[in-house]
Amino acid sequence: MVESTLSSVRHRVVNDFSLVHALLGMAMRKTNDPHAVKLFQSSRSRVRVIALLHAVAWRSDLPGMLPAKSYLEEVVREAERHRSTGDRIRVDVETHGLALPISEMAAVGLCVSELVHNALTHAFPGERSGRVGVTFGPGETPGELVLRVVDDGIGMTPGASEAPNGLGLALVRLLVEQLSGKLTAGANEGSGTDFCLRFTSQEESRVWPTS
């Protein structure tokens, strides 16, 4: 009975997010302002990422936990669909079989979405091809987790990761604070960008490999 109720609630939540996604799409189609269209598109993509969280949780066999691999692969596919880069940019995901509490996985998923989207948008101008790597695994100390999003694109200009006008990176910084983590960004001209997020799970004993 309880499981049936939870399944019904999750299904409704996913449907509600789908409705919000559709409403944003309707509003987007009523404007001709290119800047507004981009904002609507980004908002729809973020809503989709949160909806995917609940969809994957609905299918998960781990009570209260979310398998990182299946969720982050969905998040990456959403970023690729949003940017439409075709085959010229490959995005690989490695999660070391981790599963996390849903509240923490939500923040990780949104960070991955923003950082991959940022790489697909800025790291490979023109028809430049390349690779983006997403890795998520245990750190050096008990309970520490490390998320890295690395690309082999053109690299960042000095101070770009601290730019105040970028909504995506501003959102990432807020999510890092939510996780009580630390974000570092390395950029070398012509050698790509490396974002690294380190945080300690607040439910350390419940983080375990799924494979």
Mark whether 134 and 201 lie in a shared domain: yes
Confidence at residue 190, expressed as pLDDT on a 0 to 100 scale: 56
Token pair for 81: 């669909």
Mark whether 109 and 80 lie in a shared domain: yes
Count of structural domains within the chain: 2
Confidence at residue 150, expressed as pLDDT on a 0 to 100 scale: 94
Domain that holds residue 18: 1-59
Q: Which residues contact 179 (CB under 8 A, 6 or more apart)?
A: 104, 107, 108, 197, 199
Instruction: Give the residues of the chain that fall short of pLDDT 70.
Output: 1-25, 27-28, 37, 40, 84, 157-167, 188-190, 203-211
Confidence at residue 205, expressed as pLDDT on a 0 to 100 scale: 44
Confidence at residue 189, expressed as pLDDT on a 0 to 100 scale: 55
Mark whether 134 and 77 lie in a shared domain: yes
CA distances 16 to 4, 27, 97, 109, 170, Å, are: 18, 17, 30, 19, 26
